[in-house]
Amino acid sequence: MTRKVVLYALAIGFALYLVVPFYWIVNMSFMHEVDAASVPPHFLPNNPTLANYLGFVNPSTKQALVGSNAVGDTPYALVNSMVVALSTALVNLVLGTFAAYSFSRIRFRGSQVLLIVYLLTRMVPGIAIIIPFYLVMRTLDLLDTYGALILSYTTFALPITIWILKDYFRTVPRELEDAARVDRCGWFSMMWKVFLPISAPGLVAAAIFSFMTAWNEFMFALFMTSSISSKTIPVIAANFATDVETQVTLMAAAGVLAVVPPLVLVLICQRLIVQGMAAGSVKG
């Protein structure tokens, strides 16, 4: 009995710990600036407004002054982030599938070393490669384009993609491939028609990891982007925070907008993520 009470108390405590901070910025994002600054604070918006969100589409003069154009730039930044994150996920799946297939099906010399090397590249902190990366992108004239971001995020996500996919691919029964081969199916059409559809949970898990890596990344985006033609949402969101004249309600709204896409994705695909990861990944 006491055990149950303690359990529920802990569960509720943790639920509050996880939700309340996020609830606070959602709450703020629906407030007028005056209410947000009131003492005592409103834990529910007493006079809810969409003004902060509408400001991103059609900023008032006052809103437009916040965070060096951050308000007007927010919708473009969301589009940039979406393009970059989806492209990163796609490039990762293609490159990762080839590599992971070889680890799951072919026994070859150096396979273990190669897998460890992939993993080690993930251990290299981004800051260590950012300067040369910047100089290379400057030489290639890719600064302030999607290309520089997609390339850098691909290198971050690729090792993890390969590890997730190789574990998942090993769970696909070999007989299916043999059957396809008997039907005189080529390797590519076997992959496309048989192998990849069965591997969907693993592919989705890997795609979400790459998407989130790209969506959340900030340091490289800060270095590689300079205008709204490629600035991503974390860069714009940071402008709200570092601006002296910032409006806390607008900042909250921008924060909420930046969380929604990855959050929706994670919640929708929750089961597939668990299934994809459970194939071998983090079993202790």
Partner 1 sequence: MTLTAPDIEKPRTETAHRPRRGMGDTARAYLLNAPAMIVIGLLVAYPIGYSFWLSLHRYNLKLPALERFVWFQNYISLIGDPAFLSSLRVTVAFVVVVLVLTVVLGTALALVLNETFLGRGVLRSLVLLPWAMPGVVNGLMWRTIFDAKTGALNGLLLQLGLIDSYQAWLTSPTGAFFITAFAQVWNTLPFTVIILLAGLSTIPSEQYDAAKVDRAGVVQRFTQVTLPWLLHPLLIVLILETMNAFRAFDTIYVLTGGGPGDATNVIAVLNVRTVLTYTDFGLGSAYSWVITIVTLVISIGYISTLYQRGRIEV
Q: Which of residues 150-179 bind partner 1 (CB under 8 A)?
A: 151-152, 154-155, 158-160, 162-164, 167, 170-171, 174, 178
Query: Which residues ranging from 58 to 77 are in contact with partner 1 (CB under 8 A)?
Result: none
Query: Which pair of structure tokens corresponds to residue 96?
Result: 């990762």
One of 21, 61, 139, 227 touching partner 1 (CB under 8 A) = 21
Site string for partner 1, 193-232 (x = CB under 8 A): -------------------x--xx-xx--xx---------
Q: How far is the CB of 259 from partner 1 (least distance, A)?
A: 5
Range 179-207 burial, b when 16+ CB lie within 10 A, else e? ebeeeebeeeebbeebbbeebebbbbbbb
Name which position in 125, 188, 227, 244 contacts partner 1 (CB under 8 A).
125
Burial class (CB in 10 A: 0-12, 13-18, 19+), 216: middle
Q: Does 50 bind partner 1 (CB under 8 A)?
A: no
Q: Given candidates 128, 188, 227, 245, which one binds partner 1 under the rule CB under 8 A?
A: 128
Closest CA to 248 of 80, 39, 27, 46: 27
C-alpha–C-alpha distance, residues 60 and 68, integer Å: 14
Min CB(159)–partner 1 separation in Å: 8
Distance in Å, CB of 60 to partner 1, minimum: 20
Please select the residue that binds partner 1; options are 132, 139, 227, 244, rule is CB under 8 A. 132
Give the binding range for partner 1 (CB under 8 A) out of 45-53, 57-65, 66-74, 93-101.
Answer: 93-101
Q: CB–CB of 242/204 below 8 Å?
A: no
Minimum CB separation of residue 236 from partner 1 in Å reads 9
Q: How does DSSP classify residue 41?
A: P
Nearest C-alpha neighbor of 94 from the set 186, 180, 196, 170: 196
Could you say which residues in the range 264-283 bind partner 1, by CB under 8 A?
265-267, 270, 277-278, 280-283
Closest distance of CB 197 from partner 1, Å: 20
Is 244 a binding residue for partner 1 by CB under 8 A? The answer is: no
List the one residue from 109, 188, 244, 245 that touches partner 1 (CB under 8 A).
109
- d(Cα 137, Cα 191) in Å, to the nearest integer? 34
Using CA atoms, how far apart are residues 1 and 32, in angstroms rounded to an integer? 46
Measure the CA angle with vertex 147, ends 94 and 98; round to 5°. 15
Identified binder of partner 1 from the candidate list 86, 142, 238, 272, rule CB under 8 A? 238
Q: Which of 1, 5, 40, 227 binds partner 1 (CB under 8 A)?
A: 40
Cβ contacts of residue 89 below 8 Å, gap of 6+? 157, 207, 208, 210, 211, 214
Q: Of 46-54, 66-74, 133-141, 191-199, which part binds partner 1 (CB under 8 A)?
A: 133-141
